Amino acid sequence: MRDIGGLVWIVFVLFAVISSIVRSARRARAAPASPNARVNRSAGAPARPPVMVQAAPAPPPARVPPVASVPPPPIVIAPPRPVVSHVELPRARATGFFADRGALIRGIVAAEVLGKPLALRDE
């Protein structure tokens, strides 16, 4: 049964690929050769060559008056920073389960209360 399913899948993929190629060929055949050419294929009428229309020349660009140049801002050099040998940073507060000693003790007590009874431990 698996072989039949695989064969059906292969036939389906081949059909999809071939139909995609045919559709692309039809679009390419139906598309005009250039954007200026128009296809006129009525019943029995021969195709006429496209008529080229010459576009009017573009008007010259308007003259823009020159803009007065602005001098660049002066370069300011900052004074050197003082050298610090040791900086005391504030201690970051510990985050997590055991932020301090009290939290650690509460965790141990909770583990004893919520954990397995002492008599059932395999020690």
Amino acid at 35: P
Average pLDDT over residues 93-116: 80
The secondary structure of 2-51 as a DSSP string is HHHHHHHHHHHHHHHHHHHHHHHHHHHHHS-SSTT------TTPPPPPPP
In this prediction, what percent of the chain has a pLDDT beyond 90? 8
Average pLDDT taken over every residue of the chain:
77
Closest among 40, 38, 41, 42 to 51, alpha carbons compared: 38
Taking only the tens place, the pLDDT of each residue in 24-57 is 988 888 876 655 555 555 555 556 666 666 777 8
Taking only the tens place, the pLDDT of each residue in 11-23 is 989 999 999 999 9
